[in-house]
Amino acid sequence: MRPGEIYLARFPFGDVPGMKLRPVLLLTGSLGLVPEVLVAYISSVLPAQPLPSDLILDPGTPEFQGTHLKVASALRLHKLATIHSSSLARHLGALEAAQHAIVGGKLRALLELTAELETPSRSSAGSRVDPA
């Protein structure tokens, strides 16, 4: 299990209790003593107006053939969940490196992360001056 891979997984519903088997993109590998993964929701229902954080995965195009999705689908990066690794039912495929990089950029924009937040400078960590 590695980031960028696509699995069928039991994904939680947003508005009612329960889980549904659906494709998800792994955003992390297995984490913690109780192995969990952070995943993003993939839906075959294409939004009429995709959000800036959405990525349309069309298996009919060469760059998305490796996903092994059956139909064009929307990767909805604003719909994230941490699920137990045992919820992953079957490996489907993976994103190519270029599309995985696009996902990273969309996540950074969605979460309003900057390079400064991602990799704080060790030399400046102890040298902050309080303006008061």
Low-confidence winner among 5-14, 64-73, 94-103 (lowest mean pLDDT): 5-14
The Cα 84–Cα 81 span in angstroms is 10
Q: What is the mean pLDDT of residues 25-43?
A: 93
The Cα 45–Cα 73 span in angstroms is 7
* Residue-by-residue DSSP string for 79-110: EEEEEEGGGEEEEEEE--HHHHHHHHHHHHHH
According to CATH, the topology of domain 5-114 is SH3 type barrels. (2.30.30)
With 80 as the cut, is the pLDDT of residue 46 above it?
yes
Q: What is the mean pLDDT of residues 56-73?
A: 92
pLDDT band at 14 (very low <50, low <70, confident <90, very high): low
Count of CA atoms in the C-beta half-sphere (13 A) of 19:
15
**How many other CB atoms sit within 10 Å of the CB of residue 52?**
10
* Residue-wise pLDDT tens digits, 75-126: 999 999 999 999 999 999 999 999 999 999 999 999 988 765 555 444 444 4
Map out the domains of the chain as residue ranges.
5-114
pLDDT score at 20: 78
Number of DSSP helices (H) and strands (E) in the chain, helices first:
3, 6
Task: Give the Cα-Cα-Cα angle 60, 87, 61 (nearest 5 degrees).
Answer: 5
The Cα 101–Cα 22 span in angstroms is 23
The Cα 93–Cα 42 span in angstroms is 13
